[in-house]
Structure 1
Amino acid sequence: MSSQRKTPASRNLLFILSDEHDPRYMGCSGADWMHTPNLDRLAQRGTRFTNAYTPSPICVPARAGLATGRWTHHTGYWDNAIAYEGRWTSWHHRLAQAGVRTESIGKLHYRQASDPTGFGAQHEPLHILDGIGLVWGSVRSPLPATRGRSPIFDELGAGESSYNRYDQRVADLACDWIHERGHESGREGGDAPWALFVGFVAPHMPLVVPDGWLSKYPLDGIPAPKLSGPDDVRHPWVERLKRHWDHDAALGTDDRRRLARACYFGLISFMDAQVGRLLSALKEQGFEDNTTVIYSADHGDNLGARGLWNKSTLYRESTSVPMILAGPGIPQASVRQTNVNLVDVYPTALAACQVPVLEEERDLAGQSLVALAAQPDDPARLGFSEYHAVGSASAAYMVARNGFKYHHYVGHAPELFHLETDPEECINLAGDPRYAGELESLQAALRAMLDPDAVDRQAKRDQDDLIARFGGRDKALTRGNAGPTPMHEKYRLV
């Protein structure tokens, strides 16, 4: 009589989060010129979601949504000066309360390490600067005419930055942590479940990358970004965002633009190598068969499209994130087109560590990715993102469903794109009467979730209150880092 091998159940979670990774730049997503062997193998071992979105295309609100499983308009973490501090229950709280050893290594971008955010320990955490973050970015009513010259490309090219050194250290610590759990597994009480959050900063600027990775992307093979010519017209809301802080002007030349894109690709490959080290450690310690692995990012990067760099827009370059899920019970070499979001990680973490959902958690925005991976594609599931932060004179909301993607800008005309025929979002169909039904349907879906104008007013009230606490508009405009969050002194070269 033959016996069938039983698939082990998941009891551990390894969650890997990069920063600013547009998911189209992986080999497994069709960019066969990208060098991402480890993410490609992870996708082969599990399920990749092609339509994954951030709750907000900027670091701090995105990470708050990831932690709490709730939308930005629900929690009020509007921008990079209003950071997660433990006020709302996180999946880290819930796992720890259930007896799961839950720790973090690397970037979190919460308010500060002393806040009760649910981790039993935070190793080498990176949070918002001085616990206050980008205060000047909260000045939105009215929005200043310009922030002046952008400094984000002051560092650019081959080399080694403090961020590179930090990511290597994060990978070192994470591998050591996994090995320690493996060594404990043979001891009494050492078989307890665990969850590890690993936060890398790559491919976030500064766009400095060790030469061995940069050389994989010769400059003569780097294409120009789309819709970046002098005659290309931007939506008025987007044009206002660009005028507020013109990163493209700071680059200045096409050669520097090509170099910036090459560095971004090189940083993705550099980060992929760090991910590979973690996955190797997981396999070496015998955890591959009982651990759910999730790889994602907090948001994407415009990377020169429409003359824009950094994040903060509703286009797919900015709102899309990678979402790869692998582990026990996850379909292998599978691709799902169902819309998913970082808010889905909360119930996924509970499922991965076999922690029951509480009654009060049934109103969370998300659904377990483990369940969604096992189901047929659901084109009607709503994709959503919103933006209330630096550079925006008014709120912006994105809704996607049934192959269409709708952008709602408070005070401006909308945008509508058909993703099947126009995946690069170059043709705005909002004014085309043939698509009036789709436009009205998505407008209704947005208004069923929230009142766009009322949420815009609430965000600005909260931000105005923050500005008042810092002594008013003029003083607030001087508070906060100008470029990337500064790294710990020990990662800087003297």
Structure 2
Amino acid sequence: MTDRPNILILMVDQLNGTLFPDGPADWLHAPNLKALAERSVRFANTYTGSPLCAPGRASFMSGQLPRRTRVYDNAAEFTSDIPTFAHHLRRAGYQTTLSGKMHFVGPDQLHGFEERLTTDIYPADFGWTPDYRKPGERIDWWYHNLGSVTGAGVAEITNQMEYDDEVAFNAVQKIYDLSRGQDARPWCLTVSFTHPHDPYVARRKYWDLYEDCDHLAPADPALPYEELDPHSRRLMDANDYTKFDITEDNVRRSRQAYFANISYLDDKVGEILDTLERTRQEAVIVFVSDHGDMLGAKGLWFKMSFYEGSARVPLMIAAPGLTPQRIDTPVSTIDTTPTLCDLAGISMQEVMPWTDGESLLPLARGTPRTAPVAIEYAAEGSQAPLVCLRAGRWKYTACALDPEQLFDLEADPLETVNRAADPDCAETLAGFRAEARDRWDLAAYDAEVRESQARRWVVYEALRNGDYFPWDFQPLKLASERYMRNHMDLNVLEENKRFPRGE
């Protein structure tokens, strides 16, 4: 492989990192991801930059936390002047392609990608903007609700399956195109699926794999509403919990569908990797998710929380020169962009003062890392920004509205005992408080979020009055340049489209 390696990024949506303690858990039916894990560096304690789709993905692509990107929620614009890994690679001579979801909000639907093969599954406008001016108000037509749990089950086709089937098909076709050698540049192909994101619905062939699964009940069962922390109660309210009676069977069926969709994704990943191998191409391979899913732990579902199920994600990197191993040091998805640039020999020096992430290659090669992992959240279900630090065995969370939380994840992996008031932890708590004060001015952060929300509500209501021009990406394919047309030389065409040639 050259000093400008090809790069294949396989991204999934809402995949709980606790299910990937060292690659996929043994009981998951995921042979392709298990094979990938065997040749990868597995970062067992990887955290999202923010536990929600758009802010988490903007942080992943830019190496910056939400307060810096200003992508606070699922309707905040990702502005065009923020460099992403696609910009850095493309500037260095890569062709950059996206098949699938990245939840870009705003008129820029490329953010450094030269080519997009599909549209996005989610809207690109400001319609999903939260409003801190109306605490506790639900926006029923787009907020999550627990109907995803009560409606769990089997289907042969859904909106999301249709999307991911298309994502995988286009990715395979792109790998075939790359093999034909019509473009001499190194390539970066990002393939981004929407599963296992709820709704919790799966195809029968995958559902049946988990019929007798021992993990259909969460290890951390539901708590009464009154015993939840304040932010978790807000999430329950945002999910309209009083309108749903969640039974034990609902929980089991939801988790069964979720596990089934991991196996569905495993088949898609296997198809893509098999095509890469059969076309004799090599690439650095990155497998990652944007955030996790609580899956009923403590009674919580989906994401939007700093608890492990929501904030922790899988991250595996297979690359020449990196010894396959498990690394337990906490890291972040915001480290991905610096790592990709490091792998490609690209300097980020011009923007490093404004980058929150750092390359994972030194850690993978044995250099200790001591910097804590930071997470931010300021979206639906919150009424003021929340911040989190993970360092060593500890996780600390803070919000201007809520009591602090401090969890010892080594002794208490299910985060059941808040140690913030424990005198034995006073020194640890003081260290985290000082670190948080140095990083965040929560009052200023809150004001920035409120300003952004207010502006976007004005703009959205204006743009939906009268003719509406959507920002959604419109993939166009020129039929007159496909297959065989009369302006093409048939002999040249057939030779160029064949791989391998002459065999």
- For Structure 1 versus Structure 2, the TM-score category normalised by the shorter chain is 0.7 to 0.9
Counterpart of 1:214?
A: 207
Which residue of 258, 272, 276 maps to 2:252? Answer: 258
**TM-score in terms of structure 2 length:** 0.86
The separation in 2 between residues aligned to 1:243 and 1:281, in whole angstroms, is: 45
Assess, with a 3 A threshold, how the Cα gap between structure 1 residues 27 and 193 changes in structure 2: closer, same or farther: same
Give yes or no for the alignment of 1:300 onto 2:297.
no
**Is the Cα contact below 8 Å between 2:18 and 2:308 reproduced in 1?**
no
**Is the Cα contact below 8 Å between 1:27 and 1:36 reproduced in 2?**
no
Residues 81-104 of structure 1, C-alpha deviations (whole Å, 9 max, x = no match): 113242311111121122101111
Report sequence identity in percent: 29
Counterpart of 2:410?
A: 420
Residues 435-483 of structure 1, C-alpha deviations (whole Å, 9 max, x = no match): 01111111111111121222122212211222233459xx99xxxxxxx
Assess, with a 3 A threshold, how the Cα gap between structure 1 residues 450 and 130 changes in structure 2: closer, same or farther: closer
SS at match of 1:24: helix
Give yes or no for the alignment of 1:20 onto 2:14.
yes
The separation in 2 between residues aligned to 1:76 and 1:191, in whole angstroms, is: 36
Letter in 1 for 2:200: L
Residues 329-360 of structure 1, C-alpha deviations (whole Å, 9 max, x = no match): 1111x011122111111112212333233333
Give yes or no for the alignment of 1:453 onto 2:443.
yes
Shift of 1:56: 0.6
SS at match of 1:242: helix
Shift of 1:231: 7.9
Shift of 1:116: 4.8
The separation in 1 between residues aligned to 2:287 and 2:24, in whole angstroms, is: 17
Give yes or no for the alignment of 1:143 onto 2:149.
no
**Is the Cα contact below 8 Å between 1:28 and 1:40 reproduced in 2?**
no
Shift of 1:381: 2.4
Counterpart of 1:4?
A: none
Aligned length: 462
Shift of 1:261: 0.8
Residues 273-315 of structure 1, C-alpha deviations (whole Å, 9 max, x = no match): 1111112122222223xx2111101100111112111110111
Assess, with a 3 A threshold, how the Cα gap between structure 1 residues 133 and 375 changes in structure 2: closer, same or farther: farther
Shift of 1:251: 5.8
SS at match of 1:11: coil
The separation in 1 between residues aligned to 2:55 and 2:452, in whole angstroms, is: 14
Give yes or no for the alignment of 1:324 onto 2:316.
yes
The separation in 1 between residues aligned to 2:227 and 2:79, in whole angstroms, is: 40
RMSD: 2.6
Counterpart of 1:176?
A: 173
Assess, with a 3 A threshold, how the Cα gap between structure 1 residues 224 and 151 changes in structure 2: closer, same or farther: closer
Residues 20-69 of structure 1, C-alpha deviations (whole Å, 9 max, x = no match): 00022248447321112211111110100011111110001111111211
Shift of 1:407: 0.9
Assess, with a 3 A threshold, how the Cα gap between structure 1 residues 446 and 341 changes in structure 2: closer, same or farther: same
Letter in 1 for 2:410: E
Give yes or no for the alignment of 1:204 onto 2:204.
no
The separation in 2 between residues aligned to 1:376 and 1:330, in whole angstroms, is: 13
Counterpart of 2:74?
A: 80
**Is the Cα contact below 8 Å between 1:406 and 1:417 reproduced in 2?**
yes
Counterpart of 2:59?
A: 65
**Is the Cα contact below 8 Å between 1:110 and 1:127 reproduced in 2?**
no
Shift of 1:419: 1.0
Within 5 Å, which residues of 2 pair with 1:287-366?
287-288=281-282, 291-332=283-324, 334-366=325-357
**TM-score in terms of structure 1 length:** 0.87
Within 5 Å, which residues of 2 pair with 1:244-255?
244-246=238-240, 250=244, 252-255=246-249
Counterpart of 2:188?
A: 195
Which residue of 431, 439, 458 maps to 1:441? Answer: 431
Counterpart of 2:162?
A: 165
Letter in 2 for 1:314: F
The separation in 2 between residues aligned to 1:175 and 1:28, in whole angstroms, is: 27
Residues 409-457 of structure 1, C-alpha deviations (whole Å, 9 max, x = no match): 2221111011111111111101101001111111111111121222122
Residues 134-185 of structure 1, C-alpha deviations (whole Å, 9 max, x = no match): 13xx11223134456654347521112121122122112112211221221x
**Is the Cα contact below 8 Å between 1:251 and 1:257 reproduced in 2?**
no
Residues 192-219 of structure 1, C-alpha deviations (whole Å, 9 max, x = no match): 2110111100001121111111111126
Counterpart of 1:389?
A: 379
The separation in 2 between residues aligned to 1:156 and 1:200, in whole angstroms, is: 20
**Is the Cα contact below 8 Å between 1:292 and 1:328 reproduced in 2?**
yes
Which residue of 265, 276, 294 maps to 1:271? Answer: 265
Structure 1 unaligned regions, length at least 5: 1-6, 477-484, 489-494
The separation in 1 between residues aligned to 2:174 and 2:420, in whole angstroms, is: 51
Assess, with a 3 A threshold, how the Cα gap between structure 1 residues 43 and 439 changes in structure 2: closer, same or farther: same
Counterpart of 1:399?
A: 389
The separation in 2 between residues aligned to 1:281 and 1:10, in whole angstroms, is: 21
Letter in 2 for 1:464: A
**Is the Cα contact below 8 Å between 1:92 and 1:119 reproduced in 2?**
yes
Assess, with a 3 A threshold, how the Cα gap between structure 1 residues 200 and 113 changes in structure 2: closer, same or farther: farther
Within 5 Å, which residues of 2 pair with 1:4-15?
9=3, 11-15=5-9
Letter in 1 for 2:189: L
Counterpart of 2:500?
A: none
Residues 366-415 of structure 1, C-alpha deviations (whole Å, 9 max, x = no match): 1122332112453x221111110011122111101121100112221111
**Is the Cα contact below 8 Å between 1:111 and 1:127 reproduced in 2?**
no
**Is the Cα contact below 8 Å between 2:47 and 2:332 reproduced in 1?**
yes
**Is the Cα contact below 8 Å between 2:292 and 2:303 reproduced in 1?**
yes
Letter in 1 for 2:90: A
**Is the Cα contact below 8 Å between 1:26 and 1:36 reproduced in 2?**
no
Give yes or no for the alignment of 1:282 onto 2:272.
no
The separation in 2 between residues aligned to 1:283 and 1:113, in whole angstroms, is: 36
SS at match of 1:152: helix
Shift of 1:265: 0.7
**Is the Cα contact below 8 Å between 1:248 and 1:307 reproduced in 2?**
no
Letter in 2 for 1:97: R
Counterpart of 1:479?
A: none
Letter in 2 for 1:32: D
